Amino acid sequence: RGLTDISLLKRFIHLRYVDLSKNKLKDLAPLSSLTQLLWLKVDGNLLTSASMQELPYLQVISFDRNHITDFEGITHPLLANLSLKENKIETVLGLSHDHLFSLQVLELRGNKIKTTAGLGVSKLKKLYLAKNTICSLEGLEEFEQLETLHLRDNKLEALDGFSNSMKCLQYLNLRSNGIKSFQEVEKLQVLPMLQALVLMDNPCAEEPNYRLEVLSRLPQLQRLDKESIEEEEREEAENIRQARKEKEK
């Protein structure tokens, strides 16, 4: 609606659900009196900051498609789901578990993030980092409860940084990165619960017997790319694995 001023909302102190998407807002200060707010959507505005006064019951915020550059001032104690898709964020520093101990889902796709180092919210269950410029994975060992990690369309060539402390990670999307060798794929053996892996559109996916080579290194997989693992494939991959072991001896 082209709104630039929402000061009128100050009066509606019992509002719980507010959608201010597709306006021209630069300031959310008037929302500080809405202490009962549970859900806030401000997609497609002109915000350069996500900073707001702490709201005690706020559980879901979406700041997609703004001009936000950092995480400063996001401190809502019950916040469970935070989306900052398609902003201008370059660093993941600034989110703190001390303030955001309820955060479970963080959506950051389409920003300018180069590394995962310093992301201080270790209780996350789902982390979406597609379409950034990430070339190194750091600090992931803290994410002991993470179940889903989305890293499609980044600049990863190596798969260092994963840890056996990531004992809940089940789904990993690495589509459209720069992973060339199966030796890199082998590094994912540290993930005990990994069941679904997406590797298509990486250089290694062009190699002969690609599926069998991956499965021989990660036999616990249930799905590779979009397809379930067939029993025959599993047997063939096991034969390749045994043959490789013999060769190494």
In a domain, 66, yes or no: yes
Q: Is the pLDDT of residue 24 over 80?
A: yes
**Number of domains composing the chain:** 1
Q: Is the pLDDT of residue 249 over 80?
A: no
In a domain, 235, yes or no: no
In terms of phi and psi (left: phi > 0; alpha: psi -120 to 50; beta: otherwise), the region of 28 is alpha
In a domain, 14, yes or no: yes
Indicate the pLDDT class of residue 77, thresholds 50, 70 and 90: very high
In a domain, 226, yes or no: no
CATH code where residue 13 lies: 3.80.10.10
In a domain, 65, yes or no: yes
Closest CA to 130 of 66, 198, 206: 198
Indicate the pLDDT class of residue 246, thresholds 50, 70 and 90: confident
Q: Tens of pLDDT along 25-69?
A: 999 999 999 999 999 999 999 999 999 999 999 999 999 999 999
pLDDT, the chain, mean: 95
In a domain, 149, yes or no: no
Range of the domain at 5: 1-88
Cβ contact 225:199 at 8 Å: yes
H/E stretch holding 126 reads strand 126-128
Kind of pairing, strands 81-83 and 105-107? parallel
In a domain, 167, yes or no: no
Distance in Å from the first CA to the final CA of the chain: 70
